[in-house]
């Protein structure tokens, strides 16, 4: 269908009745401009966190199925209120849950993956002149159970729906003006970027930039979905996420700091074929994602294997590793949750010796010890102690000439 746009609104954007009414006005303006609008909405404000806190009052280990059933209710409140707000302003609207609009996922509760989208219902409602308000973050499995897509899942819902209906544009509305060179709360001279390549944005998102979820960027890149990140509190144009442009030289485009990680080390692992497979296959079977991996060669035919996991997965990872220690013949497991991942991102930066040496020179001058290193064509990442993380972020931002002329004033929401 031609003329479709998808707009996604995060929890802050619909955090109160006043904000819901303002979002309704923005959606209606797009409708009056001749567009067919699909609005994908998150739960209001801190609703999801509040629901999780309620589960902790009952059990520390809730059933993943029941947790997904509970968390999906947050979006249902948002979509029904927003549909009512649009109707109250004189326009047709209908709210649809993930299952009602045909979002089918696998059965991985809490982190489900979208497998297909049946767009029949959505296209029918659009043809009838409705603004379609969709619950983000959720879908339905083949056996009919409600599933959720994990943190940031509403971004993924929006881009996947945009790809399915071949929308001309997907707008991600949030509480910031777009994508910055780094976190403006830490570096007040962070610059707003008018455009970012899909690959660069994917690395930024994976490495801790919280403005877009990595899975949403992956889908946008795969299906060439035109993507814009904008503020729901003003009319600024925001940041376009688009195909790569030819560049004459490598340039650092952004710097990220991810504090949602922990470093895990399995000590004195026998130096035998298949040991790493056994170790990481157990983690994978428990749906524990692993990021940076380093193997240190020791004496007496044993190694130390270190890697990082999300902090939310740390306790589960330690439990799994405890069960596999005897099987692989390792000595013990140690961990450190007071570390962060610091990264610089940009096209072809690994091939530029000045960028590589400048990155580590900056850390050296600050007296920061590098614990782990990971590189790709688009990024250089390292694990450092959390204590000097913000200082390193600010110093690197200046070193690579990313500072804006003036400090920005953030919207207080």
How far is residue 86's CA from residue 25's CA, in Å, rounded to a whole number? Answer: 8
Average pLDDT over residues 233-240: 93
How far is residue 135's CA from residue 193's CA, in Å, rounded to a whole number? Answer: 29
Name the nearest CA neighbour of 146 among 256, 72, 212, 208: 72
Distances in whole angstroms, Cα of residue 407 to Cα of each of 29, 93, 177, 391? 32, 41, 14, 17
- Tens digits of per-residue pLDDT, 166-209? 999 999 999 889 999 998 888 999 999 999 999 999 999 988 88
> Does 244 score more than 80 pLDDT?
no
Lowest mean pLDDT among 45-59, 240-254, 283-297: 240-254
CB 113 within 8 A of CB 138: no
CB 89 within 8 A of CB 24: yes
Q: How far is CA 368 from the centre of its chain?
A: 27
Strands 302-310 and 261-270: antiparallel
Retrieve residue 329's tokens: 């013949």
pLDDT at 250: 66
Tell me the CATH number for domain 4-174.
3.40.1160.10
pLDDT at 245: 57
If pLDDT is split at 50, 70 and 90, which confidence band does 247 have?
very low
> Does 18 score more than 60 pLDDT?
yes
Phi, psi at 17, each rounded to 5°: -60, -40
If pLDDT is split at 50, 70 and 90, which confidence band does 316 have?
very high
pLDDT at 210: 82
pLDDT at 208: 82
Average pLDDT over residues 364-391: 93
Q: How far is CA 192 from the centre of its chain?
A: 19
**Residue extents of the structural domains in the chain:** 4-174, 246-413
Retrieve residue 1's tokens: 């269908």
Q: Residue written as tokens 């005897």?
A: 326
Check residues 132 and 205 and name the one with the higher pLDDT.
Answer: 132
Spatial strand order in the sheet of 261-270: 293-297, 302-310, 261-270, 332-336
Distances in whole angstroms, Cα of residue 308 to Cα of each of 134, 173, 334, 338, 381? 35, 31, 12, 12, 12
The residues near 292 (Cβ < 8 Å, ≥ 6 apart) are 307, 308, 341, 372, 373, 374, 381, 383
pLDDT at 249: 60
Average pLDDT over residues 122-138: 97
pTM equals: 0.84
- Tens digits of per-residue pLDDT, 79-120? 999 999 999 999 999 999 999 999 999 999 988 999 999 999
No. of H helices and E strands in the chain?
A: 11, 20
- Tens digits of per-residue pLDDT, 331-363? 899 999 999 999 999 887 888 889 999 999 999
How far is residue 336's CA from residue 292's CA, in Å, rounded to a whole number? Answer: 14
Average pLDDT over residues 204-233: 92
> Does 409 score more than 60 pLDDT?
no
pLDDT at 307: 95
How far is residue 17's CA from residue 81's CA, in Å, rounded to a whole number? Answer: 8
If pLDDT is split at 50, 70 and 90, which confidence band does 61 have?
confident
- The DSSP letter of residue 260 is S
Average pLDDT, the chain: 91
pLDDT at 299: 67
pLDDT at 408: 57
Name the nearest CA neighbour of 159 among 236, 241, 89: 241
If pLDDT is split at 50, 70 and 90, which confidence band does 32 have?
very high
pLDDT at 413: 40
How far is residue 142's CA from residue 140's CA, in Å, rounded to a whole number? Answer: 7
CB 255 within 8 A of CB 402: yes
> Does 377 score more than 90 pLDDT?
no
CATH class of 246-413: alpha beta
């Amino acid at each position: 269908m031609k003329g479709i746009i998808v707009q996604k609104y995060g929890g802050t954007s619909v955090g109160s009745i006043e904000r819901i009414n303002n979002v309704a006005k923005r959606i209606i303006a797009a409708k009056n401009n001749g567009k067919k609008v699909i609005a994908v909405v998150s739960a209001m404000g801190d609703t999801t966190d509040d629901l999780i806190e309620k589960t902790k009052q009952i059990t520390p280990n809730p059933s993943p199925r029941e947790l997904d059933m509970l968390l999906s209710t947050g979006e249902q409140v948002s979509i029904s209120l927003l549909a009512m707000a649009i109707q109250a302003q004189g326009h047709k609207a209908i709210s649809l849950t993930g299952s009602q609009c045909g979002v089918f996922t696998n059965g991985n509760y809490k982190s489900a993956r979208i497998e297909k989208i049946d767009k029949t219902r959505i296209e029918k409602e659009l043809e009838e002149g409705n603004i379609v308000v969709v619950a983000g973050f959720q879908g339905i499995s083949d056996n009919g159970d409600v599933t959720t897509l994990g943190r940031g899942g509403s971004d993924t819902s929006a881009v996947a729906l945009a790809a399915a209906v071949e929308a001309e544009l997907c707008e991600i509305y949030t509480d910031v003006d777009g994508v910055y060179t780094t976190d403006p709360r830490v570096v007040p001279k962070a610059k707003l970027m008018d455009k970012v390549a899909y690959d660069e944005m994917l690395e930024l998102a994976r490495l801790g930039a919280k403005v877009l979820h990595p899975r949403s960027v992956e889908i946008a890149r795969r299906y060439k979905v035109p993507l814009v990140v904008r503020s729901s509190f003003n009319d600024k144009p925001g940041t376009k996420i688009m195909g790569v442009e030819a560049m004459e030289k490598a340039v650092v485009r952004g710097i990220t700091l991810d504090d949602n990680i922990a470093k895990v080390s399995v000590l004195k692992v026998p130096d035998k074929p298949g040991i790493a497979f056994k170790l990481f296959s157990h983690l994978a079977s428990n749906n524990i994602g692993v990021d940076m991996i380093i193997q240190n060669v020791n004496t007496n035919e044993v190694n130390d294997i270190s890697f990082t996991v999300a902090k939310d997965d740390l306790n589960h990872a330690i439990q799994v590793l405890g069960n596999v220690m005897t099987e692989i013949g390792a000595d013990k497991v140690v961990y450190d949750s007071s570390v962060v991942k610091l990264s610089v991102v940009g096209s072809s930066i690994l091939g530029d010796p000045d960028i590589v040496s400048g990155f580590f020179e900056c850390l050296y001058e600050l007296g920061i010890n590098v614990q782990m290193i990971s590189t790709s064509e688009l990024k250089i990442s390292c694990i450092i102690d959390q204590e000097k993380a913000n200082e390193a972020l600010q110093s690197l931002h200046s070193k690579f000439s990313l500072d804006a002329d003036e400090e920005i004033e953030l919207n207080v929401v």
